[in-house]
Amino acid sequence: FYEFQNETAYQSYRLNISGSEDDSNLDIAEMGWHEDGDTQTPFDLTASSIVGINGGTGFQASDVGRTIRLLGSDAVWRWARITSRSSATVVKVRLYGHALPNLSPIARWRLGTFVPGKYVESGSLYEERLAFSRKFSVYASATGDFDNFATGEEDDAALEFVQAGGGQANDITWIAESDGALIIGTLGGIRALSGSGIDEALTPSSFKNRRSRTFGCAPLRPVDAGQSFLFVTRSRKSIAELTQSASGKFTSDDVGQVSEHIPKKGVVELAFQTDPDPLLWFPLDNGELGGYTHQPSQEVRGMHRHRIAGTFSGSDWGVVESAVVTPGQDGNDDLWLVVKRTIDGTTKRTIEIKSVPFEYGEVADAFEVDCGLTYSGVAVGTATGLDHLNGETVDALADGVVYHDL
């Protein structure tokens, strides 16, 4: 299968084909031409009935833009995209990749799972598979082939799984990899998907769906805290810790009870910092930044909140909209924040990095403010480069003297 880029239009082409070492004839069993899907004229694709199409309702107008996979008589899958709907059994499509070898009826085909407005809702890697979730279902790629979602019976084939059990089928809010299982967070609790045996890989024919007695989950990605997972409960007003026992069972505990008034303000997202100290950070609906010191092996647990300097829309602090942790250049983890403030009557957002705790050096060199700038050089009477603070009242430290309300 070869692709030719026809950037310049010609009336005719000449192909030079060589495949033998001497002057003998070269036999070509088959040759076909197929125009690129993006430029070809859409053609009719007709179904024999509406059975199996959108639950027996046939093609719908909402299917425009949806993909459809077709297995030709040559046992090769190819795909097409629906461009318009003519009736419940007829749509126009553009075909991509290999041309169909003939016009024989196609017995094996399927509509794309992810359609406009109904794309994946969460994802994770698990046992060399790329897994997605939407609604009640989990979709995992073939092993080591993240672009291949063709299901089959082989152990390394892609798979689809509908999570249900205990009389419930709850919407999936997130999925995450854990030791020995793919953890599935749902509105009704947490489930674990794994191979059916101990240390057995997940395959289309070997799977086990276990229910855990846990809290319902909010659609906020959990964080791996080393010995456990931390996740936000369905109400977004508490944080729970998910742990796994030696027998493989999962249980959860409400760690927000340490200081329940903090997460009750509404958790926005989670970010976990490992170094220099294990800390969970979580922006709150009221703009504050929540924190949870988490070191269970030392029986150290504590919840705290922080107000970032500034003002916004009547609040006496800057609004923390988002938080993420990345590895820092000094070996520590960096906490990055998106902070929203009202400055000179205008809403402005800044990307800020939390500095590591001050441990060594001269106290005079400590940077003990939420957000600030430093200057070192010859003596000056005017500081420039502060356009982002127009209209704000600031404090300054110069030569060991604090100047307020500048």
Instruction: Give which of 204, 230, 232 is closest to 127, Cα–Cα.
Output: 204
Residue 114 lies in a domain: yes
H helices, E strands: number in the chain: 0, 26
CA angle 80, 81, 82 (to 5 degrees): 125
Between CA 356 and CA 330 the distance in angstroms is: 10
pLDDT value of position 210:
83
Establish if 26 belongs to a structural domain: yes
**How confident is the model at residue 71, as a pLDDT?**
86
Task: Assess if residue 96 is contained within a domain.
Answer: yes
pLDDT greater than 80 at residue 155 = yes
Q: Is residue 95 part of a domain?
A: yes
In this prediction, residue 337 has a pLDDT band, given cuts at 50, 70 and 90, of very high
User: What's the confidence (pLDDT) of residue 133?
Assistant: 92
**What are the start-end ranges of the H helices in 168-251?**
none
186: left (phi over 0), alpha (psi -120 to 50) or beta: beta
Q: Does 4 fall in a domain?
A: yes
CA distance 283 to 323: 7
Whether 305 is covered by a domain: the verdict is no
Within a domain: 32: yes
- Residues 12-32: pLDDT tens digits? 777 776 666 666 666 676 666
**Sign of the dihedral defined by the CA atoms of residues 398, 399, 400, 403, in that order:** negative
Per-residue pLDDT averaged across 315-334, rounded?
91
Query: Please, what is the average pLDDT of the chain?
Result: 85
The residue segments making up the domain with residue 45 are: 1-119
What is residue 19's predicted lDDT score, i.e. its pLDDT?
A: 63
Is a pLDDT exceeding 70 seen at residue 1?
A: no
Number of folded domains in the chain? Answer: 1
Contact at 8 Å (CB) between 241 and 228?
A: yes
**What is the pLDDT, as a whole number, of residue 18?**
67
Share of the chain above pLDDT 70, in %: 89
Task: Determine, yes or no, domain membership for 170.
Answer: no
